[in-house]
Amino acid sequence: MPSRRGTAALFGVLGVLGAGVVGAAPTVPASASLGLPQARQITLAEALAYARSHQPAVLASLARIRTESASAEVPRSQYYPVLGLTAQFLEGTTNNTTASYLTVPFVDLPRIGGTPTTNSADARWKPYASTLAGAGLSQEIFDFGRIAAEAAAADARVTIAARAADTQLLDIELNVEEAFFAVHAAKSILQASEDAYQRSLVHRDFARAGVKSGLRSPIELTRAEADLSRFDTARIRARGGVFASQAVLAAAVGSSDLVLDAADQTPLQVDLPALSNAIQLASERDPRLQEALARLRQQELETRAVGALARPDLRLSAAISGRAGGAAPSNGGAEASGDGYLPNVPNWDGALVLSWPLFDPTLNARQRASRVAEEVQRSEIDLVRQQVISAVEQAYVGVVVARQALPSLQHELEAASANYAQADARFKAGLGTSVELADAEALRADAEIRLAIGVFDLAKARAAFGRAIAEGARSNP
């Protein structure tokens, strides 16, 4: 699973506080008390909608889809005619012979067949000018399915990019949900810190009055002062934790705001399908598995496209040109006017060209390599399917455990609150000590933080389960 900054931020807050509670948000915003900008409130639905259209990772995924879509048009462009122009000027000798030669791409050999044939004794070293200007048109007539095979392979790459974008979107949505719930947990911890500080302040004042009246020992006041300072430090850290979690939420949704606040409450009730149904849903909708299947399909089409390169090709070629050469023609006719510097001799041609690479070992090797790659993709599908099923099972167990633990945590808090009430009453009646009251406060604070973590764990586990079964996946095109 990818790293979750919302989760990391929450547990960072818990580590520095050591106390928390489930309750309403504090009256004074944490950002205001720290001199930081106040966070704008946003609902979970608004956060998810904003992330889908503004998160940089989502925008990058959409850009990759557009890139692959544009690349998919490249093979289809072969259906369109190709029009070209050329203008040439050549200065060189014209000693013609019957020698044959092959044209190669890295040596340009001019045609000089219209000049008289000469031998080595009659060879002349006087250069003559030649000029050429022309335009040509080439049009695909019938490709025997080669272009269609290349286009199909390119379209499959678009599908791969789309499935990868779906995976990215689901991960972003999970990040947003966890960051959103982390804000609620951090605010609950802040409320607990404020409440603990206020209770400790009352106890300190009560202990001071008792010491002043001589009814209590001075150690009662010093212990109360220590507890008050500890809870004061905790609430300062809690304010920073709220701001940090709000900053994580803003980053998760891709907002330009420095911080965002969670508006609606964390859901406590969750519904789960049967595990077998969840696995079936994940197998049908998880974009990671769909991407693996798309990669196999693309590789199969790539193999077919490589094989199609060995098919025949039928093209129409036409050209119109003007040319002239300064050398005397072999038939003894009149020399061209302008000494070859003016291409004033018109020509045109049209040709229907059939080409067929009957044997090309390079194409055969590429096709064999592509078939081997197909086997790799098939193995990847089995691996991804196993990972998807494992993720569903783990997320399902996580939700069940978190949901079953919540009533016990709530009962723990009720018992700890009752114990604190008794200790507080004993302290005020002069029957209990500050140590007994501090232990009760610690027990209550520990129960409050455990319940806060339990609420967050349930919300986070449900969000992870929704990601595992691709609950928010878009319909496949």
Model confidence pLDDT, tens digit, residues 271-297: 888 999 999 999 888 999 999 999 999
Q: Is the pLDDT of residue 4 over 90?
A: no
Q: Which residue has the higher pLDDT, 63 or 3?
A: 63
**Is 135 domain-assigned?**
no
Highest mean pLDDT among 280-289, 325-334, 434-443: 280-289
Q: Is the pLDDT of residue 6 over 60?
A: no
Please give the pLDDT value at position 101: 57
Domain count within the chain: 1
Please give the pLDDT value at position 190: 87
Please give the pLDDT value at position 353: 86
> Can you state the percent helix, strand and coil of the chain, rounding each to 5?
60, 15, 25
Mean of pLDDT values over 213-237: 87
Please give the pLDDT value at position 388: 93
Q: Is the pLDDT of residue 24 over 60?
A: no
Are the C-beta atoms of residues 155 and 297 closer than 8 Å to each other? no
**Is 80 domain-assigned?**
no
260: left (phi over 0), alpha (psi -120 to 50) or beta: beta
Q: Is the pLDDT of residue 8 over 50?
A: no
Spatial CB neighbours of 402, under 8 Å, sequence gap ≥ 6: 454, 457, 458, 461
| pLDDT, averaged across the chain | 83
Q: Is the pLDDT of residue 28 over 50?
A: no
**Is 254 domain-assigned?**
yes
Q: Is the pLDDT of residue 312 over 70?
A: yes
**Is 217 domain-assigned?**
yes
Q: Is the pLDDT of residue 171 over 80?
A: yes
Mean of pLDDT values over 378-390: 93
Closest C-alpha to 405, from 456, 463, 454, 460: 454
DSSP per-residue codes, 181-240: HHHHHHHHHHHHHHHHHHHHHHHHHHHHHHHHHTSS-HHHHHHHHHHHHHHHHHHHHHHH
Model confidence pLDDT, tens digit, residues 389-430: 999 999 999 999 999 999 999 999 999 999 989 988 888 887
Angle at 103 between CA 328 and CA 305, to 5 degrees: 145
Please give the pLDDT value at position 20: 36
Q: Tell me the residue range of the domain where 186 lies.
A: 5-74+149-301+364-468
Mean of pLDDT values over 207-234: 86
CATH code of the domain in which 210 resides: 1.20.1600.10
101: left (phi over 0), alpha (psi -120 to 50) or beta: beta
Per-residue confidence at 2, pLDDT binned at 50, 70, 90? very low
Cβ-based neighbour number of residue 360 at 10 Å: 11
Q: Is the pLDDT of residue 266 over 80?
A: no
Structure tokens at 361: 């070992």
Are the C-beta atoms of residues 57 and 64 closer than 8 Å to each other? no
Cα 182 from Cα 453, distance rounded (Å): 10
Q: Which residue has the higher pLDDT, 223 or 371?
A: 371
Cα 305 from Cα 328, distance rounded (Å): 51
Q: Is the pLDDT of residue 310 over 80?
A: yes
Please give the pLDDT value at position 37: 67
Please give the pLDDT value at position 392: 94
Please give the pLDDT value at position 131: 84
Model confidence pLDDT, tens digit, residues 65-118: 999 999 999 999 988 888 888 787 777 776 666 665 566 565 666 676 777 767
Mean of pLDDT values over 321-340: 75
Cα 242 from Cα 258, distance rounded (Å): 13
Q: Is the pLDDT of residue 21 over 70?
A: no
Residue 37 CA from chain centroid, whole number: 30
Please give the pLDDT value at position 405: 93
**Is 356 domain-assigned?**
no
Cα-based torsion angle of the residue sequence 410, 411, 414, 416 in order, rounded to the nearest 10 degrees:
-100
Are the C-beta atoms of residues 93 and 125 closer than 8 Å to each other? yes
**Is 101 domain-assigned?**
no
**Is 204 domain-assigned?**
yes
Q: Is the pLDDT of residue 230 over 80?
A: yes
Cα 31 from Cα 357, distance rounded (Å): 73
Please give the pLDDT value at position 188: 87
The pTM of the whole model exceeds 0.95? no
Query: What does residue 452 show for φ and ψ, rounded to 5 degrees?
Result: -60, -45
Structure tokens at 36: 């930081």
**Is 61 domain-assigned?**
yes
Q: Which residue has the higher pLDDT, 64 or 329?
A: 64
Q: Is the pLDDT of residue 11 over 80?
A: no
Q: Is the pLDDT of residue 226 over 70?
A: yes
